[in-house]
Amino acid sequence: MKLRSDIDEFIKTIPDNVNIVAATKYVGAQEMMDLYKHNIKNFGENRVDSFNNKYEELKDVKDIKWHFIGHLQRNKCKDIINKIDYLHSLDSIELAKMIEKYRVNELNTFIEVSINLEENKNGVDYHNIYDFVGDLLNYKKIKIIGLMMMAIKNDNDEDLKDQFDKLYNLRNDLEKKFNISIPYLSMGISDDYKIAIDSGATHVRLGRILWEN
Ligand SMILES: *Cc1c(COP(=O)(O)O)cnc(C)c1O
């Protein structure tokens, strides 16, 4: 795919304190290097096999930060866990156990939260999040740095804003309850990133919008 021709102008529209994580599931290593030349160096992959292919090709490129943003199956955890810099999708204690077992050092981790489990099956049920975080504090390899969510698609901007605000407020409540700092919010994709930024996103995961269609 071809980068959108106004990529530099587009990047300038994203506030300085918000990190662009380029979702790479539609592209290959070559296209990732096109982004790299425009100073996008945070890459987020969804699938373990694609991750490994791209990582093999680009692992010697300076300053790339490797994010894993898709559901990570327990049995594939060990294949990538020491290659990534950030995990956005911690969604079960079973996965946490695998990370504890295989990861060599502390891993920067976002907890994926499902704010409405009926409509979005991915992530930890919003209602169980306090128990989940309480458990996680015993895992030495897991450094909780943020929360992540996928909004449920909606044409109504206010509904989307309510969804993102829910994660923002949850983060603040968790910080108070456990007396910890959870500085980051990974939320917003091509369709809704502006609203997510209004609600305090620090990481937007952008795919389609970076490319010409
Ligand atoms: C694909 C994907 C994105 C980016 O989606 P776009 O609509 O292409 O911007 C963000 N987050 C996750 C988890 C994804 O799988």
> Which mutation among 25, 88, 90, 147 tests ligand 1's pocket best, with the greatest number of atoms within 8 A of CB?
25
End-to-end alpha carbon distance in the chain: 8
At 186, phi and psi to the nearest 5? -100, 100
Q: What is the pLDDT of residue 133?
A: 98
Q: What is the pLDDT of residue 105?
A: 98
Helix count and strand count (H, E) for the chain: 8, 9
Q: What is the pLDDT of residue 120?
A: 80
**22 pLDDT higher than 80:** yes
**65 pLDDT higher than 80:** yes
- 138 Cα to the center of ligand 1, angstroms: 31
- 191 Cα to the center of ligand 1, angstroms: 9
Of the two residues 122 and 97, the one the predictor is more confident about is 97
Alpha helices, DSSP H only, in the chain? Answer: 7-12, 29-37, 48-58, 77-80, 93-102, 129-136, 157-178, 193-198
Tokens of 90: 């911690």
Q: Whose CA is nearest to atom 12 of ligand 1?
A: 69
C-beta contacts of 153-158 below 8 A and 24+ residues apart: 153/191, 157/195
Percent of the chain having pLDDT more than 70? 100
**119 pLDDT higher than 90:** no
Which residues' Cβ are closer than 6 Å to ligand 1?
23, 25, 46, 69-70, 189-190, 205-209
* pLDDT tens track for 146-193: 999 999 999 999 999 999 999 999 999 999 999 999 999 999 999 999
Q: Domains in the chain, please, with CATH?
A: 7-210 (3.20.20.10)
The answer, as to whether pTM is greater than 0.95, is yes
Residue-averaged pLDDT of the chain: 97
Span 139-145, average pLDDT: 98
How far is Cα 102 from Cα 111, in angstroms, rounded to an integer? 18
- 145 Cα to the center of ligand 1, angstroms: 20
* pLDDT tens track for 25-61: 999 999 999 999 999 999 999 999 999 999 999 999 9
Query: What beta strand segments (E) does 58-132 contain?
Result: 65-68, 86-90, 107-114, 124-125
- 88 Cα to the center of ligand 1, angstroms: 12
Q: What is the pLDDT of residue 117?
A: 80
Q: Whose CA is nearest to atom 10 of ligand 1?
A: 205
Q: What is the pLDDT of residue 121?
A: 83
Beta strand 184-186 with 142-148 is parallel
